[in-house]
Amino acid sequence: MIKKIAIQTFGCKLNFAESSHIIQEFEKEEYRIISQPEHADIFIIHSCAVTKNAEKKVRNTIRQCHRKNPNTKIIVIGCYAELSPNELNKIEGVSIVAGNNFKYNIQSLLKTEEKQILTGENKNNTFTPLASGNDRTRTFFKIQDGCDYFCSYCTIPHARFRSRSASIADTIKTFNKISHQKEIVLTGVNIGDFGKQNNETFHGLLKEMAKNKQAKRIRLSSVEPDLMHNNIIQLIKNNDNLMPHFHLPLQAGTDEILKLMKRKYTTDFFRNLVNNIRSEIPNAYISCDILVGFPGETDELFKQTVNYIKELDINDLHVFSFSERPNTKAVQLQGKIISTEKNARSKIINAIAKEKMYNFAKQQASKKHSVLFEKQEINNYLYGFSKNYLRVKIKYNEKYINKIITVKTSPPDNDGILKTTEICTQD
């Protein structure tokens, strides 16, 4: 009998890429993928552990599914499974807990009815590139895993272990197989670290990818500021299929907090990096991560961060509140910030982000934009992203789905979204 399987993914783009790969493997066998966990024979939860709230969502999902259907076999994989397997194993309904190096072996794990916990590092330090399937307009391509940075707030190096990647040659073999996709997003934990175990570089990989002109849109996910070298900026500037989109995790706007976080740059370094990108690629989209409420972030230091961010020539901010994680150095730091204060600070930074995004969209509205429109219809509109990551909408028409269309737009609405006023060309 064909078994029904559901999967729910929490966390980053990397998790979604891996989940898509896992689904592809199940589809090769006698499994039917469904969307309702309570109707499934097997329910896979791809977990995240970046915050306490992320872990709470996983626990609630487990309990909700088990309450609705006690016969569903629940499997928890990913970072939370790697870091707290015993905690998850105690929750009623959980059959298998598989950490990051075992989550691709689920089909073999299902051959036994016994409860299982499988975690631990891959001592061979091997890595295989993988790409998401056709379930999304944009394809996520995992080129790297793990991290050697050990920032004081982050537990990911414990969950995903040391930085590793395949050779450029092996990565390009997989890339060429998916180069027909409309857009490919390069993902990993620390993609700028690509290649170091093979004496290769991220720049070298991008240079080879850019040569494949069948790949129309190659987009970078987050790259550490100290690894965003000028040769990468120049490569993006000079290759039309490398998107002018930079996501740089800043985290704090004062050198005092950056030092406590054990980040690898100063505020001056970061400012110069942003200014360099802006001077070389004026229309580039530049966004940052900000972590508010880190231990020791006094009112005065937060004000300095606010002023620093206001002055930066960036377009958007992803704001996170500090969440204490076990086995990180930040646990030992003094000067904890209460939740209400962290929430208040998040609102302040989010307001700045909204203003910056709106101003960027307003400035860009007068230009033509090449937009990849996605599948989901919302209120009779399709939405997509321009090359420089502006959100653009167009009146629903089935023929626009998964198409790259050059459009003119009106000024943005209050959410910074541009509306198509004229279609210029279509692929």
Q: Of 387, 395, 412, which Cα lies nearest the Cα of 239?
A: 387
Highest mean pLDDT among 156-165, 345-354, 376-385: 345-354
Q: Which pLDDT score, from 0 to 100, does residue 121 have?
A: 77
Q: Per the structure block, which two tokens stand in for 40?
A: 């499934």
Q: Which residue in the block uniquely carries the two structure tokens 């992803």?
A: 318
- In this prediction, residues 6-25 reach a mean pLDDT of 91
Mean pLDDT of 132-159: 89
Quick check: do 3-118 and 130-363 share a fold?
Answer: no
In DSSP terms, 123 is beta-bridged to none
201: left (phi over 0), alpha (psi -120 to 50) or beta: beta
Q: Parallel, antiparallel, or unpaired for β 391-395 and 404-409?
A: unpaired
- CA gap 41, 60 in Å, rounded: 19
Q: Which of 426, 292, 283, 270 is nearest to 349 (CA)?
A: 292
Using CA atoms, how far residue 68 sits from 9, 55, 61, 62, 63, in Å, is: 19, 20, 11, 10, 9
**Tokens linked to 18:** 């891996």
Query: To the nearest whole number, what is the mean pLDDT of the chain?
Result: 94
Can you point out the beta strands (E) in 152-284? 183-187, 218-220, 245-251
Q: Among the residues of 11-131, which ranges form H helices?
A: 13-27, 52-68, 79-83, 85-89, 106-109
Please tell me the distance from the alpha carbon of residue 409 to that of residue 390, in angstroms, as a whole number: 11
pLDDT exceeding 70 applies to what percent of the chain?
A: 98
Q: Which residues pair with 139 in a beta bridge?
A: 184
Q: Calculate what percentage of the chain has a pLDDT beyond 90.
A: 84
Find residue 377's DSSP bridge partners.
382
- pLDDT of 123 strictly over 70: no
- The structural domains of the chain, with segments of one domain joined by +, span 3-118, 130-363, 369-426
Hey, is 337 helix, strand or coil? coil
Q: What is the DSSP string of 22-52?
A: HHHHHHTTTEEE-S-GGG-SEEEEEE--SSH
Check pLDDT > 90 for residue 117: yes
pLDDT band at 366 (very low <50, low <70, confident <90, very high): confident
CA-based nearest residue to 296, from 326, 336, 327, 328: 336
* 358 — pLDDT class (breaks 50, 70, 90): very high
Residue 95 has pLDDT above 90, yes or no: yes
* pLDDT score recorded for residue 133: 73
Overall size of the chain counted in residues: 427
Looking at residue 241, its pLDDT comes to: 97
Write down the pLDDT at residue 124. Answer: 64
* Amino acid letter, 105: N
What's the distance, Cα to Cα, between the start and end of the chain in Å?
A: 43
Say yes or no: domain 3-118 is CATH 3.40.50.2300.
Answer: yes
Q: What is the CATH T-level fold of the domain 130-363, as seen in this structure?
A: pyruvate-formate lyase- activating enzyme (3.80.30)
pLDDT over threshold 70, residue 136: no
- CATH number of the structural domain 369-426: 2.40.50
Residue 314 has pLDDT above 70, yes or no: yes
What SS3 class is residue 208?
Answer: helix
Q: Is 213 exposed, middle or buried (0-12, 13-18, 19+ CB in 10 A)?
A: exposed
- Indicate the angle between helix axes 230-238 and 202-210, nearest 10 degrees: 10
Average pLDDT over residues 323-334: 93
**What mean pLDDT do residues 64-89 have?**
95
Predicted confidence at residue 370, as pLDDT, reads 97
d(CA 383, CA 415): 13
> Which two structure tokens, joined as six digits, stand for 153?
């707030």
pLDDT tens per residue, range 204-257: 999 999 999 999 999 999 999 999 999 999 999 999 999 999 999 999 999 999
Contact in structure between 277 and 284 (CB atoms under 8 Å) = yes
Sequence-distant (6+) residues with CB within 8 A of 241 are 210, 212, 213, 215, 216, 217, 218
Tell me the two tokens of residue 173. 């073999």
Rounded to whole angstroms, how far apart are CA atoms 172 and 176? 6
Tokens encoding 334: 């003094």
Q: Kindly give, in sequence order, each residue whose CB lies less than 8 Å from that of residue 103, ignoring residues fewer than 6 positions away.
A: 18, 22, 46, 77, 78, 81
The amino acid present at 406, given as its one-letter code, is: T
183-187 vs 218-220, strand pairing mode: parallel
Q: What is the mean pLDDT of residues 93-104?
A: 93
